[in-house]
Structure 1
Amino acid sequence: MGVRKLRLDIKVAGLVHIGNGQRYGKRDYFVHGGEIAVLDVRKFVSRLTSDQVSRYCEFLEKGAYDKFGLQGFLTRRENADLLKIAQGSIAYRIDSPIATARRGAIQYHDVWQFMKDAHGNPYIPGSSVKGMLRTALLLNMVLDDAGLRATARVDELATSKSGSANAGKGLNRAAFWKEQPNPNDPSVKNDIMRYVSVSDSEPLSVDSLVFAKKYDKFSKGDPVDHKLDMGKLTLKEGNELDVYRECLRPGTTVSVDVTVDERIDEYLASPALDAQGLSSIFQRAFDFYSERFLNHFESGEGEGSSASGSSDGGCQYIITAGPLAGMRCPNKAVGDTGFCNTHQDKAGQCAASAEVTCYLGGGVDYISKTVTSALFDDEADAVQMVSRILYNQFPTKIDRSIHPTLYSDVQRAGFSPKLFEARRQRPGGRITKAKEDHRHWRDQEIGVSPHTMKWGIVGKDSYPMGKCSITVREL
């Protein structure tokens, strides 16, 4: 058996977030030159005198001027020396708009950070790409195997009803735990994905990062009757949430290398994990995602096929070096060769797949990260199951004395609302919150579950979370 070498060229079409588990807060960034400046704390502290260190520590420990964050601390008259040092100790800048409150004070938000290397440069871990590949491959297996679907439905139903965190583990074992390394012990099985390895991408520039605000877009079938009618102020298309993520901006391109040990072939029905096979796996996953989810939204995301390979008449050569590395040659192909005059010598030397759409990273839609919907031939059955799973995770909580009708509506839909005690500004004062309702009990009525699509807002523009185009080529 041999080894296949592939390269995945990924271009960000929406916003991609791969988190490192940490957040920036009001003490981590300030405004400089109209941009968000993230402070390089190590460099900043290394340039301070003992007196300056004391002032900075007081700000961190006691929360002095904390209401105004780092910006308020640095712009105080007595800290003019610290401001100058901070302006020379910027890790990087984000060209994103930042809201201001009264008197120009910054409206700070916690921002989930993007994965970065030891030098502070963002990159895409190979594990994230391999996870995307694993999900797409599992989806293909499920769609091709009726027996696997039937077995997994029983497992999914049992675990979802109990709220178990083990949902899906049985399906993964059935699909991937196939190799028996020791013939004397049939109980031991290895995961066949060990035959696939994916490299990290090369480090990217911090200029490729933006701060994106979370936006949940409502589906076409959602009546949105839970929204109060406030004229032009009413948001009938979606919810803006006070959640911010550091994301790769649209147009960012990266490449990762995939090594496939051909021993995996004996455990896979079809296709083989070569350039064309891998591309078809991603394409089928996107087509299913489009049919079961995207087509329920007024986004233009689910219309038509995402393939745009040799059929578009363009040269299939992928630039391998320089600032345009990872991008396709912009020239037209000669005849049906698939390559332009400049790259005719590449014809037959490397196989490149068509460009397909995939969804990568965190903050993306439930259906792009799971195969639950594919376990059911009937979409209505899939919606029923997914809505139950999501309701178990995010149940509706209601103060029944304030919202008795809503409480009854949830019960009539076949769900069990949880009791919730209304929160007030003070005892006997104005009510600030009387329910928590993600409305998953209405998903079956709306016709899709979940009934919102995950987007991100940067300035005045919004983009789908995780959307990328991907081309696979053989090396």
Structure 2
Amino acid sequence: MAIRRYRFDIAVVGPVHIGNGMRYGKKDYFASGNKIAVLDTRKFVSLLDARQVKRYCDFLEEDRSYFGLQGFLKDNSDLSKVAERSIAYRIDSPLATARRGAIQYHDVWEFVKDPYGNPYIPGSSVKGMLRTAILLNVLLEDDSFRSLFDAAAACGRNTARKADRSIVKRAFFRERPDKADPDTVNDIMKYVSVSDSEPLSTDDLVFAKKYDMFSKGDPVDHKLDMGKLTLLKGNVLDVYRECLRPGTTVSVGITVDDRIDSYFGDRALDAQGLTTMLQRSFDFYSECFLNHFEQEGEAASSTGSSAALDGRCRYIIQSGPLKGERCRNRAVNETGYCNSHQGEAAKQQQASDSVTCYLGGGVDFMSKTVVGALFGAEDERSEAISRILYSQFPTRINRSKHPDLFGEVRQAGFDPIDMKSQYRRGRLSKAKDDHRHWRDSQLGVSPHTMKWGIVGKQKYPMGKCDVTIREA
């Protein structure tokens, strides 16, 4: 038995979100200058007298949707001064406002933090990403796994869950458990351990707004009857996540027990083997999914093989008021960098063995799952994935309001659910809930949207990272 130790150096290209299951609400943050300030509630309350605590508790119990912490502090100037002394940390983003200047509050999914309030990347998240890449490689090399999916599909409901259990059991539960202890863990991934990253700074956090980009083959004809201006390239959604900002770098430790090598034939799970598996995983993702989408120049700032050359310098500003934004200078020739950042071009050459990975929550279905690797034909893959997604997000339609759409869904071989129309103040507000997964096969890719995050005015692919593996 021998132990190999490596470091995964992770360069954040698109916002990375690893949640703790909690959310910030409209009563948890306020504006401090041009930044968003997250309130340290315990410290804030500890600095208040009894009457001030009573006012604050009354505010928390109010259920007025338009009245957030910013408005409360504006009406209570004495508490506003205390709040400025009770800031947990600041996010380098302004509060969103409506056309008339009213503040728009949104729930924000929190990033995981250590006991001292510092964000970090849990080793379990990196190991999950690595586990998915290894499993995908196993499936690409052994087409017998397809029968497990077909058997699960024949059972009807919960196809994905049943197939996942069967596939994981065959791929990873390879060791015979101790008969004296039936609860012995027999997953071969027990031979791989990943450490948590070192603590990061709250200065590395941003709020990213969800953006779903439509595929190149999507005519977006479902948007044309809305009677108002619509972004035909994608949907901007009021879903916010606290994320690591693009340009952040972090490192985790990987320990591999060489006993795992016996399960992968001639390939050792060493630095080269891990890099090869991750690269093959990205190549599959790129060929089967990424190529169906336009890559926006504003976000194509990766230094890896997946970067798009749009003529602008790729450098991500590391400090100052523009931290996390991309340099606006023109790139010199085909180096990808302007004259001021040619040193980064040299670093890029040295790190040419880096691979693109997708880490954390809010990323694409195809980067988090392996079901696509079970199908060699693109049409079969799209059909199978669309069925899985439709079972989770079925189309609901008021048949009397949208009879043609109801018929289209049925003609495509799916069963729409008849729903009651929803009204607001006497006006029709909703008569359908259609994620359009029934149409994925027609569009040539499933799912037909790619997950991006908007930070400031720039769009980035969610969870995109460049990873370099080195010996520790």
TM-score range, shorter chain: 0.7 to 0.9
1:135-174 mapped onto 2 (5 Å cutoff): 135-147=132-144, 149-158=145-154, 161-162=157-158, 165-174=161-170
Moved more, 433-442 or 51-60: 51-60
Shift of 1:71: 0.6
> Which residue identity is paired with 1:361?
G
Query: Equivalents in 1 of 2:100, 2:404: separation in Å?
Result: 43
Q: Which residue of 2 is the match for residue 344 of structure 1?
A: none
Q: Which residue of 1 is the match for residue 327 of structure 2?
A: none
1:114-133 mapped onto 2 (5 Å cutoff): 114-133=111-130
Q: Is the 8 A contact 1:101 1:107 kept in 2?
A: yes
**Does 2:385 align with 1:386?**
yes
Q: Is the 8 A contact 1:155 1:168 kept in 2?
A: no
Shift of 1:235: 1.2
Q: Which residue of 2 is the match for residue 292 of structure 1?
A: 288
Q: What TM-score do you get using the length of structure 2 for normalisation?
A: 0.86
Q: Which residue of 2 is the match for residue 219 of structure 1?
A: 215
Of residues 427, 451, 474 in structure 1, which corresponds to 2:448? 451
1:42-191 mapped onto 2 (5 Å cutoff): 42-63=42-63, 67-76=66-75, 79-101=76-98, 104-147=101-144, 149-158=145-154, 161-162=157-158, 165-182=161-178, 190-191=186-187
Q: Is the 8 A contact 1:31 1:71 kept in 2?
A: yes
Query: Equivalents in 1 of 2:62, 2:375: separation in Å?
Result: 56
Shift of 1:273: 1.3
Of residues 273, 276, 279 in structure 2, which corresponds to 1:280? 276
Secondary structure of the residue aligned to 1:214 is strand
Shift of 1:299: 1.2
Query: Equivalents in 2 of 1:43, 1:237: separation in Å?
Result: 45
Shift of 1:167: 3.7
Shift of 1:182: 3.1
Gaps of 5+ in 1: 309-328, 340-351
Query: Equivalents in 1 of 2:300, 2:69: separation in Å?
Result: 43
Gaps of 5+ in 2: 307-342
Q: Is the 8 A contact 2:300 2:460 kept in 1?
A: no
**Does 2:201 align with 1:202?**
no
1:83 and 1:180, CA in 2 relative to 1: closer, same or farther beyond 3 A? Answer: same
Q: Is the 8 A contact 1:163 1:393 kept in 2?
A: no
Q: Which residue of 2 is the match for residue 470 of structure 1?
A: 467
- The runs of 4+ residues in structure 1 deviating greater than 6 Å are 183-189, 300-305
Q: How many residues align?
A: 433
Q: Is the 8 A contact 2:193 2:254 kept in 1?
A: yes
Q: Is the 8 A contact 2:73 2:80 kept in 1?
A: yes
Shift of 1:158: 3.6
Q: Is the 8 A contact 1:47 1:85 kept in 2?
A: yes
1:228 and 1:162, CA in 2 relative to 1: closer, same or farther beyond 3 A? Answer: same
Q: Deviations over 1:13-53 (max 9, x none)?
A: 01100010000011000001121110011111111111111
**Does 2:248 align with 1:249?**
no
Q: Is the 8 A contact 2:13 2:302 kept in 1?
A: no
Q: Deviations over 1:345-379 (max 9, x none)?
A: xxxxxxx9810100000000001011111001111
Q: Which residue of 1 is the match for residue 407 of structure 2?
A: 408
Query: Equivalents in 2 of 1:302, 1:209: separation in Å?
Result: 20
Q: Which residue of 1 is the match for residue 335 of structure 2?
A: none
**Does 2:263 align with 1:264?**
no
1:103 and 1:453, CA in 2 relative to 1: closer, same or farther beyond 3 A? Answer: closer
1:302 and 1:271, CA in 2 relative to 1: closer, same or farther beyond 3 A? Answer: farther
> Which residue identity is paired with 1:464?
P
1:103 and 1:280, CA in 2 relative to 1: closer, same or farther beyond 3 A? Answer: same
Query: Equivalents in 2 of 1:461, 1:374: separation in Å?
Result: 32
Name the % identity: 63
Q: Which residue of 2 is the match for residue 24 of structure 1?
A: 24
1:303 and 1:417, CA in 2 relative to 1: closer, same or farther beyond 3 A? Answer: farther
Q: Which residue of 1 is the match for residue 324 of structure 2?
A: none
Query: Equivalents in 1 of 2:383, 2:288: separation in Å?
Result: 13
Q: Is the 8 A contact 2:160 2:388 kept in 1?
A: no
Q: Is the 8 A contact 2:304 2:352 kept in 1?
A: no
Query: Equivalents in 1 of 2:403, 2:188: separation in Å?
Result: 53
Shift of 1:186: 10
> Which residue identity is paired with 1:401?
S
Query: Equivalents in 2 of 1:38, 1:135: separation in Å?
Result: 34
1:322-471 mapped onto 2 (5 Å cutoff): 354-426=353-425, 429-471=426-468
Q: Is the 8 A contact 2:149 2:163 kept in 1?
A: no
Query: Equivalents in 2 of 1:304, 1:249: separation in Å?
Result: 13
1:71 and 1:332, CA in 2 relative to 1: closer, same or farther beyond 3 A? Answer: closer
Shift of 1:156: 4.4
Secondary structure of the residue aligned to 1:226 is helix
Q: Deviations over 1:415-452 (max 9, x none)?
A: 000010111125xx321100000000000000000000
Secondary structure of the residue aligned to 2:356 is strand
Q: Is the 8 A contact 1:287 1:305 kept in 2?
A: no
Query: Equivalents in 1 of 2:156, 2:68: separation in Å?
Result: 43
Query: Equivalents in 2 of 1:270, 1:330: separation in Å?
Result: 36
Query: Equivalents in 2 of 1:150, 1:207: separation in Å?
Result: 46
